[in-house]
Structure formats: structure tokens, C-alpha cells
């Protein structure tokens, strides 16, 4: 995530090996520089090569005066996704969806502008499922740990974050969305600490992570990519299950592992992710 008031950083980000570039108009930009940030983001998007990566812009909260100015300044033809901060209700996201439609944001686009709803307050976490279901534009839920722990008056620790992370991951899965974890911001240059935090998020069901520093990109990419062992296991599960179906059985045991259709669905997801990663590398 890169602050929009720093054009030199925006240009540097365009060369990074991240899957998605998030240009920020919200907390990363001082109030008196938001207008300049809108201009900088629009200019960089029009002038700098983007490659195949997805472009996301984090706007200011839907209930703030800055939000309408952000939307008016965005070159929608060059933006894939809008990240919405501090979403606390389904009605809030539905209203933003209608606003985007009224602005004609999907005109001359192959697919609609998408939304990532950020859950970073206690109320947002408690309304996670209804928010996940609120808009057909939504493709992901993003958990923001900083504002959440600040509201609680609690430290940013594994035990404090386990509940909201689990809720976000479950709500995203229920709605068929991606779950994106908060950036590790306590020591952004500590790659081992970043790796540990990313592994925990993946274990809880997240499919990716926001990063604040270039040193974190390779770590996040590695953690959220299937390992060779995971690919081998996925292929074994699928082949074992298919063999059992051909023999008239609904379940089987392969390499000591009980195999049923629920495990096969997860295995197919692993292979699909690996194919997507390989296709991105070729691009």
C-alpha cells in the first residue's frame, strides 16, 4: 500500500512484483494533501506502465466528505478495484455501490469496478457476514488490525487478533470472497517476523496479505503460494478420489490419508491457485 501524496513512491511501486498495487487516499495521506494525492494517483495511472498487475485505490470512508471527491477524481477506466475503509454496515456498502453505478464507473469496461470492504472496527467485525453479502461488486474482505486494536485499547498480538481474523476469514468464505489479512507493521523490515505473521494468517484461511514495505513482498508471495509438497499432495488426493469413484466408492485412502469430496474441493483450489501464479509469472 502506497500513499498517494508521494508520486515518487507511486512510480516505484509500479515496478514492484506485487499482485496488486494499492494506492492510498485515506490514512496514509495528511488531510491537507488529499487533493494533491488525487491528482498524483490519476497522473501516475495514466502515464506509468502497469503490466498485468491489478490496480486498487483506497478511498476515504463512505461517510466522509472526502469520499465523493475521491470518486470524482478517479480514472475508472484505469482502476480495477476500490478499497473501502472502515465499513461498518451492509447499507453503507450498498449505498456506495449505487453511487458508483450512478457515476457510470463501468462504462467502456470489460468487467465492473470491484470493491474490497475493509473491516477494521468492532462493529464492522460483528457485521462481517452481512457486509460480505452487501454488494455484487465485492471480491474480498480486508482486515485492518491497527484501527481494530486501537478501538479495543488492546495490543496487536496473536491472541487479540485471532477472533477478528477468524470472523473475517469465515465471512469471506461464506460469501465466496477472498480474505486479505492486515499488513504486518510492527517491524516492516523484519522478514522473519513478517513470515511468521503471514503463516498464521494463511492457517486461519486468508488468501493474501497487504504489505507496507518492498522487503515484505517476496515473503508474502512465498507464504501464500502452494509449496511443491502441497501440490504433490493435492494431485494425490484428486487422483485417489477419481480412482475410488471409478470403482464405485465415494471415499478412499491414499498414502494413509482419508479422501472424500470435501478434501478434493480444497485440493482443486490449490492446483487452480498454482496455475494462476504460473500464468502471472509468464506474463
Residue 24's pLDDT is 95
Band (66; pLDDT cuts 50, 70, 90):
very high
Average pLDDT of span 147-153: 96
Task: Answer whether residue 65 shows pLDDT above 70.
Answer: yes
Task: Answer whether residue 283 shows pLDDT above 70.
Answer: no
To the nearest whole percent, how much of the chain has pLDDT over 90? 61
Question: According to the 3-state scheme, what is the secondary structure of the chain?
Answer: CEECCCHHHHHHHCCCCCCEEEEECCCCCCHHHHHHHHHHHHHHHHHCCCCCCEEEEECCCCCCHHHHHHHHHCCHHHCCEEEECCCCCHHHHHHHHHHHHHCCCCCCCCCCCEEEEEECCHHHHHCHHHHHCCCCCEEEEEECHHHHHHHHCCCCCHHHHHHHHHHHHHHHHHHCCEEEECCCCCCCCCHHHHHHHHHHHHHCCCCEECCCCCHHHHHHHHHCCCCHHHHHHHHHHHHHHHHHHHCCCCCEEECCEEECHHHHHHHHHHHHHHHHHHHHHHC
Average pLDDT of span 239-263: 80
Band (260; pLDDT cuts 50, 70, 90):
confident
> Which is higher by pLDDT, 11 or 18?
11
Q: Which of 76-85, 179-188, 241-250 has the lowest mean pLDDT?
A: 241-250
Average pLDDT of span 253-274: 81
Band (212; pLDDT cuts 50, 70, 90):
confident
Average pLDDT of span 196-205: 94
Average pLDDT of span 21-25: 94
Task: Answer whether residue 269 shows pLDDT above 90.
Answer: no
Instruction: Give residue-wise pLDDT tens across range 93-145.
Output: 999 999 999 999 999 788 999 999 999 999 999 999 999 999 999 999 999 99
Amino acid at each position: 500500500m502506497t500513499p498517494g501524496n508521494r508520486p515518487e513512491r507511486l512510480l516505484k511501486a509500479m515496478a514492484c512484483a506485487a499482485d496488486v498495487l494499492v494506492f492510498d487516499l485515506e490514512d496514509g495521506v495528511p488531510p491537507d494533501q488529499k487533493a494533491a494525492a488525487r491528482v498524483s494517483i490519476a497522473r501516475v495511472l495514466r502515464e506509468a506502465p502497469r503490466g498485468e498487475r491489478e490496480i486498487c485505490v483506497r478511498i476515504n470512508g463512505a461517510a466522509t466528505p472526502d469520499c465523493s471527491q475521491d470518486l470524482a477524481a478517479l480514472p475508472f477506466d484505469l482502476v480495477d478495484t476500490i478499497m473501502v475503509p472502515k465499513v461498518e454496515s451492509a447499507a453503507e456498502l450498498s449505498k456506495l455501490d449505487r453511487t458508483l453505478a450512478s457515476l457510470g464507473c463501468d462504462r467502456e469496461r470489460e468487467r465492473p469496478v470491484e470493491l474490497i470492504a475493509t473491516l477494521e472496527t468492532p462493529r464492522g467485525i460483528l457485521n462481517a457476514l452481512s457486509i460480505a453479502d452487501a454488494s455484487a461488486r465485492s471480491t474480498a474482505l480486508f482486515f485492518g488490525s491497527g484501527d481494530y486494536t486501537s478501538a479495543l485499547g488492546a495490543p496487536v498480538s496473536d491472541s487479540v487478533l485471532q477472533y477478528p481474523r477468524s470472523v473475517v476469514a469465515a465471512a469471506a468464505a461464506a460469501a465466496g470472497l477472498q480474505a486479505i489479512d492486515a499488513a504486518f507493521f510492527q517491524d516492516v523490515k523484519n522478514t522473519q517476523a513478517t513470515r511468521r505473521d503471514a503463516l498464521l494468517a494463511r492457517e486461519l484461511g486468508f488468501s493474501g496479505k497487504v504489505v507496507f514495505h518492498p522487503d515484505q513482498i517476496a515473503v508474502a508471495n512465498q507464504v501464500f503460494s502452494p509449496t511443491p509438497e502441497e501440490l504433490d499432495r493435492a494431485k494425490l488426493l484428486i487422483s485417489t478420489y477419481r480412482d475410488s469413484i471409478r470403482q464405485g466408492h465415494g471415499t478412499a485412502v491414499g498414502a494413509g490419508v482419508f479422501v472424500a469430496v470435501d478434501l478434493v474441493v480444497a485440493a482443486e483450489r490449490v492446483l487452480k491457485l498454482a496455475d494462476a501464479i504460473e500464468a502471472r509469472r509468464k506474463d
